[in-house]
Amino acid sequence: MQDEKPIETAMLSLTERKNKLRSKDLKKLSSSQITQATLETDFKLCKMIEVAQNDKELIEIQRKAIYMQRLEFHSLSLNHEALQRNFEALSNQVLVERQEKAELQLKINQLANERLSINDRIKELQDKLGAVGLGDREYDMRKENEIKELRENLELRRQQIEQLKSDLQKRIKKINEIESKNEIIIQGKDKEISTLTADLRANNDLMKETMAQYRAKQQTLQLAQGKIIDLESKLKQKTEADMTMKEVIERVRIELNQQYVPLISQLKEEAHARNSFYQREMEKMENAFGERTQALEDRVRAQDLQLQDWIAKYNDKCKECASYISISEHRLQQYNELLSKKKELEDSKGEHIQNLESELHKKDEETLQLKSELFQLEQGIGEDKREEIRELGHFKERVILLEQQLMLSVEKCDMLQAQMVSIQNDRDEAVANAKKLVQKLEETDRFKQHIEDRNEEKYLEMRREIADRCNQVMSLQLEIQRLTNEKLIDKQVIDELERRIDYDRDKLYKLQKEDSELFTTFKTQTTEELTNLKRSFEKIGKDLMCKSCWKLGTDCLMLKCGHSLCSTCSLKGVGDVFYCKECMEETEISTISRSQPIKQISLNYIMSKKILESVLSLVST
């Protein structure tokens, strides 16, 4: 908008001037002159408008290019700041994760201490339960329910362990695939960086070669200038008295044609070639710079995506580790509960067997006592037989009851022995399963430690890769800055070269101007001298002309008075005597003869006149 205002003002001023000129000159000019003037002014106005529009378009293009370069630089700086922020956030996240790991370790230690205290409490409760003693049926039911729960828990744990193994194998495969992809990407980026460095080196070599060529051409220009100065000094030293006019003209023409014309054409060609070469180089550098900036932006974006993927994977692994730790703690608690239940079963089993054995022993003693009493009663039958018989019946009933009780107790003992065998088998199975669980827990602990070590190694590798990427970004930014500085330096060099070219052009223009001035002075001097010679030749020609017809002839007749007469003029009808028309002296016709010297002089005069005319035409051209 700022560029459009002065153009509009210029247009308005031009239209006003046009109207004023029309109003002033309408009275003076005719219709044809007015139309010609209007057409010329319109043509000039159109040219001015086209030039202004072209200048405006060039200014807008330059502004757009500058704005695009600023935007690219601003975007690169923003990407660099974002990378720095991501790196700081990752470092802070690592510190937080370390603190969380330390807190988890403290919690694990606390849980281990609590587990020991719980085991102590369980032992105390087992002692109390053993002291109190539960009923047989309740105890058996409780044992059966606990055994069922233990078996179900063992099956569930086996399934969970198998699922964990399958999940771990899948995750290991995914990690290996991701590592292979990352290695391929890193190799491709290394190749791209090597190609970019090779291109930069090639561009530097080209710039060095162009600078060397420019210096060599500058030296040739200096030598040419020295030769021109020497020629000028030689021309000044030589005087015109030493050479004839013809030699001077030919010598000057030859030297000018030999020295100035090829030098000027060569300098023009070199300047045009240099300008085109530098324009091509600048376009190449700008294109390469744009491609490099685009590649850098693509790399930064890819690195941001990789960092986000790595952060997400790291968070997933941390969650998996936390879930695995919670599962392992839950399994440890279940294993501790199984061990406590096993100890309770063993303790209660021994106590129950001891109680049954003590009851059997008591009942055996009672039966022995009853048998001894019966034997005594049979031996000591006395007076009161009925009472004794009754007592015997009572004792028999009591014996039958005791035998029934003994049978029941024997059956109970058999049942208890069978239960003891089944309990022993279940205990062996539980012990074997517990050992397997312990082994699996140890394996899981080892695998957990392996995963933690691997995660730490991966985290360190990620930190190293992030640091390498940041270093690469910094190096690329330094390289971009260096390229921009080189671009500015090249621009300064090009500006300096253009200034020198303009200076050399001005100098050549001045030299040409001086030469033209010298040539014009020389031309004026030679023309003056030649005009003087021409005048003298005209005087000689007047003397050589025939006095009767006033023509210059090659075949002349010599009179007695010394004047000449052309052979074309007839002497018939004159008589014996001829009177000269210039001096009126008489000469006899018989004495008139052809003159060879005058003929030679007239021929020389004609030749010299032609040479003078040719020289004058050359000098005028």
Contact between 579 and 585 under an 8 Å Cβ cutoff? The reply is yes
Give the pair of three-digit tokens for residue 538: 């005209």
How far apart are alpha carbons 76 and 286 in whole angstroms?
16
Give the pair of three-digit tokens for residue 379: 């031996």
DSSP, residue by residue, 356-387: HHHHHHHHHHHHHHHHHHHHHHHHT--S-HHH
Instruction: Please report, as a single letter, which amino acid is at residue 341.
Output: K
pLDDT in tens, 135-147: 455 656 666 676 6
pLDDT above 60 (res 209): yes
- For CA atoms 400, 403, 405, 408, the dihedral sign is negative
Average pLDDT over residues 585-612: 74
What share of the chain has pLDDT > 90, as a percent? 0
Number of other residues whose CB lies within 10 A of the CB of residue 18: 16
pLDDT in tens, 182-193: 667 666 666 766
pLDDT in tens, 2-15: 444 444 554 455 45
Give the pair of three-digit tokens for residue 613: 């005319």
Cβ-Cβ contacts under 8 Å for 19 (sequence gap 6 or more): none
pLDDT above 70 (res 103): yes
How far apart are alpha carbons 363 and 370 in whole angstroms?
10
**Which is more confidently placed, 431 or 99?**
99
Residue 588 gets which letter from DSSP?
A: E
Contact between 519 and 285 under an 8 Å Cβ cutoff? The reply is no
- We find that the CATH architecture of domain 547-620 is 2-Layer Sandwich (3.30)
Closest CA to 158 of 427, 440, 448, 445: 440
Q: Please provide the average confidence, as pLDDT, over all residues in the chain.
A: 66
pLDDT in tens, 419-446: 666 666 766 676 666 667 667 667 766 7
**Which is more confidently placed, 506 or 44?**
506
With left for phi above 0 and alpha for psi between -120 and 50, is residue 562 left, alpha or beta? left
Cβ-Cβ contacts under 8 Å for 88 (sequence gap 6 or more): none
Average pLDDT over residues 249-253: 58
pLDDT in tens, 489-525: 767 776 777 777 778 778 777 877 877 787 777 777 7
pLDDT above 60 (res 84): yes
Tell me how far apart the 2 most distant CA atoms of the chain are, in Å.
Answer: 247
pLDDT above 50 (res 347): yes
What are the φ/ψ torsions at residue 559 (nearest 5 degrees)? -90, 175
Contact between 37 and 25 under an 8 Å Cβ cutoff? The reply is yes
pLDDT of residue 331: 65
How far apart are alpha carbons 382 and 365 in whole angstroms?
27
pLDDT above 70 (res 285): no
pLDDT of residue 29: 43
What share of the chain has pLDDT > 70, as a percent? 32
pLDDT above 70 (res 603): yes
pLDDT of residue 257: 57
Number of other residues whose CB lies within 10 A of the CB of residue 582: 12
Instruction: Please report, as a single letter, which amino acid is at residue 162.
Output: E
Domain ranges (residues) in the chain? 1-133, 547-620
How far apart are alpha carbons 426 and 140 in whole angstroms?
14
pLDDT of residue 575: 63
Angle at 109 between CA 108 and CA 113, to 5 degrees: 115
Angle at 124 between CA 123 and CA 129, to 5 degrees: 95
Average pLDDT over residues 570-577: 58
pLDDT of residue 606: 76
The model's pTM is 0.25
Q: Residue 371 — very low, low, confident or very high, per pLDDT cuts 50/70/90?
A: low
